[in-house]
């Protein structure tokens, strides 16, 4: 592709994206594709000779688009938000255009230094206590894995890093503590980092579905008595199921008393701490050794952009760094080489899109948007509370409402089946998209408000659609 063609198709693609973002609501939110539909449209082998971009873009529109679920649709209420925005997309395009690999400071000083700065900006915006250092990674799952590996090496004085499981020298297994509402990435990380899923201890939750610090203390003490090695606590600020907030201010001292690593998973809800009235969710963060939040969920920055804060970067580097001759530079003592702050060597220039978003919107507008989402979710919760045939199943501290349809005369098993069928019907209709969880074996519909373009009218449509489909 020569630069003239690139220019022409580039303008065309930007026009397409602009139209898409403006009118995403003309698509069914959840793709109606059946398994295999899209594969059937794609040839089995790559073309031997290049094809015109006109044909490729046409195929994109005709064959690929029907298989897309529209995460940036204003009536997307499923899972958790993964919103984007014009500034973020422009930053992403420049990052792709530069094609930088920011593994070392020297491989693009601007990428490393901008990353340090925007992580600092964000830490200030969410009111993180001083003393944390940030780095951008791909996902919260990866950062939680990093935290678990750091905790493992702290507990074993770096013996597992060098000797593998033999580094434990016959001592009992290392234990990880998280509430049973914690995200599945904790168990996945524990499997990868060699703890084993059986060594992830499910701490009890309270009536708000937040971790019970007294039970945490009891379970750690019991493990010590059994000769096991307590290693890491993962507290969740904003659980995936219903955005429950584990109380860091009381969990922190328990972790400290037993000398455990405290990792805070604030992947979604941490973004809400940019609101002064939600700063409290990070009360006690001063006890944390590490914390993650995902601007790619709720801060208008397109996937992927997960910010990992650590208190002791030297420990992180000592855990993950590897220094082959071909990666040494003359500046290594003066600068941060972010390849040592995460798992992959190669790194994208992600700071650019976050910088574009923070500058283009400004903190005030970002606060208004997040606050608007929370207000809408809470208004929806009010409608559920007032409707006799519906039941709210968990508190709504933020943007996610857990509820069910509960007409009279159905036992629990029938209610679960009826609500499951309702979710299927609603999503097949295509007007809105929402998903479910289980809270104490109760099938719960979840409505999460967090897309950039979502307004009150879209939440009203969600409520009307649910009532119509239930009827
Ligand atoms: N932690 C929490 C609380 C989440 O809600 C999620 C996603 O749902 C994750 C972690 C995983 O995020 P990621 O996709 O960035 O790994």
**CA 29 to centroid of chain Cα atoms:** 20
Distant-in-sequence, close-in-space partners of 245: CB < 8 Å, separation ≥ 6: 208, 210, 237, 238, 269, 281, 397
Integer angstrom CA distances of residue 193 from 155, 160, 185, 290: 13, 10, 12, 16
Region 324-328: mean pLDDT is 89
Looking at the predicted structure, is the pLDDT value of residue 315 above 90?
yes
CB of 181 within 6 A of ligand 1: the answer is: no
CB of 137 within 6 A of ligand 1: the answer is: no
Of ligand 1's listed atoms, the one at least distance from the Cα of 141 is 16
Q: Using the 8-state DSSP alphabet, how is residue 33 labeled?
A: P
pTM above 0.85, yes or no: yes
Region 352-366: mean pLDDT is 98
CB of 268 within 6 A of ligand 1: the answer is: yes
CB of 183 within 6 A of ligand 1: the answer is: yes
How many CB atoms are located within 10 Å of the residue 38 CB?
Answer: 15
Q: How far apart are CA 304 and CA 277, in angstroms?
A: 27
Of ligand 1's listed atoms, the one at least distance from the Cα of 139 is 15
Structure tokens at 45: 């082998």
- Cβ(206)–Cβ(239) below 8 Å: no
How many CB atoms are located within 10 Å of the residue 90 CB?
Answer: 16
Looking at the predicted structure, is the pLDDT value of residue 167 above 80?
no
Element (H, E) at 442: strand 442-448
Which residue CA neighbors atom 7 of ligand 1 most closely?
A: 240
Alpha helices in 228-350 (DSSP H): 248-257, 295-298, 313-320
- Residue by residue, DSSP assigns 131-188 as T-EEEEES-HHHHHHHHHHHHHHHHTTTHHHHHGGGGGTTPPPEEEEEETTS-HHHHH
Q: How far apart are CA 67 and CA 35, in angstroms?
A: 10
Q: What percent of the chain stands above pLDDT 70?
A: 100
Ligand 1 pocket test, pick from 185, 291, 448 with the greatest ligand atom count within 8 Å of Cβ, gives: 185
What pLDDT is recorded for position 49?
97
Count of residues making up the chain: 471
CB of 297 within 6 A of ligand 1: the answer is: no
Which residue CA neighbors atom 14 of ligand 1 most closely?
A: 139
Q: Using the 8-state DSSP alphabet, how is residue 264 labeled?
A: E
Task: State in Å: Cα 140 to ligand 1 middle.
Answer: 5
79-119 pLDDT tens trace: 999 999 999 999 999 999 999 999 999 999 999 999 999 99
264-282 pLDDT tens trace: 999 999 999 999 999 999 9
pLDDT-based confidence at 171, cuts 50/70/90? confident
Element (H, E) at 15: helix 3-23
CB of 336 within 6 A of ligand 1: the answer is: no
For 162-201, b/e burial (b = at least 16 CB within 10 A) is eeeeebbeeeebbbbbbbebbbebbbbbbbebbbeeebbb
Nearest to 91 by CA among 56, 120, 118, 67: 118
Q: How far apart are CA 150 and CA 290, in angstroms?
A: 10
Ligand 1 pocket test, pick from 142, 188, 267, 297 with the greatest ligand atom count within 8 Å of Cβ, gives: 267
Q: Half-sphere exposure of 269 toward its Cβ, with a 13 Å CA cutoff?
A: 27
105-156 pLDDT tens trace: 999 999 999 999 999 999 999 999 999 999 999 999 999 999 999 999 999 9
Q: Half-sphere exposure of 21 toward its Cβ, with a 13 Å CA cutoff?
A: 17
What pLDDT is recorded for position 331?
87
Region 190-212: mean pLDDT is 96
CB of 80 within 6 A of ligand 1: the answer is: yes
What pLDDT is recorded for position 322?
87
Task: State in Å: Cα 186 to ligand 1 middle.
Answer: 10
CB of 298 within 6 A of ligand 1: the answer is: no
- Cβ(237)–Cβ(251) below 8 Å: no
Beta strands across the sheet bearing 200-203? 133-137, 306-310, 290-293, 261-265, 229-236, 174-179, 200-203
Task: State in Å: Cα 141 to ligand 1 middle.
Answer: 6
Looking at the predicted structure, is the pLDDT value of residue 402 above 90?
yes
CB of 102 within 6 A of ligand 1: the answer is: no
Q: Using the 8-state DSSP alphabet, how is residue 62 labeled?
A: I
Looking at the predicted structure, is the pLDDT value of residue 163 above 90?
no
Ligand 1 pocket test, pick from 189, 190, 268 with the greatest ligand atom count within 8 Å of Cβ, gives: 268
Looking at the predicted structure, is the pLDDT value of residue 170 above 80?
no
CB of 306 within 6 A of ligand 1: the answer is: yes
Q: How far apart are CA 413 and CA 425, in angstroms?
A: 19
Supply the mean pLDDT for the chain: 96
Distant-in-sequence, close-in-space partners of 155: CB < 8 Å, separation ≥ 6: 174, 229, 231, 232, 261
Structure tokens at 174: 């290392």
45-87 pLDDT tens trace: 999 999 999 999 999 999 999 999 999 999 999 999 999 999 9
- Cβ(267)–Cβ(297) below 8 Å: yes
Of ligand 1's listed atoms, the one at least distance from the Cα of 239 is 3
Of ligand 1's listed atoms, the one at least distance from the Cα of 297 is 15
12-37 pLDDT tens trace: 999 999 999 999 999 999 999 999 99
CB of 141 within 6 A of ligand 1: the answer is: yes
Nearest to 220 by CA among 183, 263, 255: 255
């Amino acid at each position: 592709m020569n630069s003239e063609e690139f220019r022409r198709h580039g303008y065309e693609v930007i026009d397409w994206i602009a139209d898409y973002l403006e009118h995403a609501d003309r698509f069914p939110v959840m793709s109606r594709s059946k398994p295999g539909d899209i594969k059937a449209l794609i040839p089995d082998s790559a073309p031997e000779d290049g094809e015109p971009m006109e044909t490729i873009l046409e195929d994109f529109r005709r064959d690929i688009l029907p298989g897309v679920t529209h995460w940036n649709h204003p009536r997307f209420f499923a899972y958790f938000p993964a919103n984007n925005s014009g500034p973020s997309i422009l930053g992403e395009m420049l990052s792709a255009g530069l094609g930088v690999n920011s593994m070392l400071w020297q491989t693009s000083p601007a990428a490393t230094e901008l990353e340090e700065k925007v992580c600092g900006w964000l830490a200030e915006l969410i009111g993180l206590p001083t003393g944390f250092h940030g780095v951008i990674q791909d996902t919260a799952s990866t950062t939680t894995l990093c935290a678990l590996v750091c905790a493992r090496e702290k507990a074993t004085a770096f013996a597992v890093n060098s000797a593998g499981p033999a580094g434990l020298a016959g001592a009992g297994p290392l234990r990880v503590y998280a509430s049973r509402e914690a995200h599945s990435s904790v168990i996945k990380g524990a499997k990868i980092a060699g703890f084993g899923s059986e060594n992830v201890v499910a701490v009890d939750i309270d009536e708000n579905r937040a971790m019970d610090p007294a039970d945490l203390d009891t379970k750690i003490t019991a493990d010590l008595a059994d000769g096991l090695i307590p290693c890491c606590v993962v507290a969740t600020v904003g659980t995936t199921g219903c955005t429950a907030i584990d109380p860091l201010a009381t969990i922190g001292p328990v972790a400290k008393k037993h000398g455990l690593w405290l990792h805070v998973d604030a992947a979604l809800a941490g973004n809400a701490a940019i609101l002064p009235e939600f700063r409290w969710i990070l009360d006690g963060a001063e006890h944390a050794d590490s914390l993650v939040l995902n601007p790619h969920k709720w801060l208008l920055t397109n996937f992927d952009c997960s910010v990992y804060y650590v208190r002791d970067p030297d420990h992180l580097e000592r855990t993950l760094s590897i220094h082959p001759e071909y990666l040494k530079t003359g500046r290594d003592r003066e600068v941060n080489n972010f390849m040592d702050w995460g798992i992959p060597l190669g790194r994208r220039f992600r700071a650019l899109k976050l910088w574009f978003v923070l500058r283009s919107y400004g903190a005030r507008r970002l606060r208004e948007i997040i606050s608007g989402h929370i207000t809408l979710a809470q208004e929806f919760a009010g409608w559920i509370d007032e409707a006799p045939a519906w039941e709210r199943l968990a508190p709504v501290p933020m943007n996610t409402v857990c509820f069910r349809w509960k007409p009279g005369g159905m036992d629990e098993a029938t209610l679960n089946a009826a609500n499951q069928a309702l979710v299927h019907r609603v999503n097949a209709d295509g007007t809105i998209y929402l998903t479910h969880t289980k809270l104490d074996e109760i099938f719960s519909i979840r409505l999460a408000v967090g897309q950039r373009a979502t307004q009150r009218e879209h939440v009203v449509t969600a409520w009307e659609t649910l009532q119509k489909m239930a009827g």
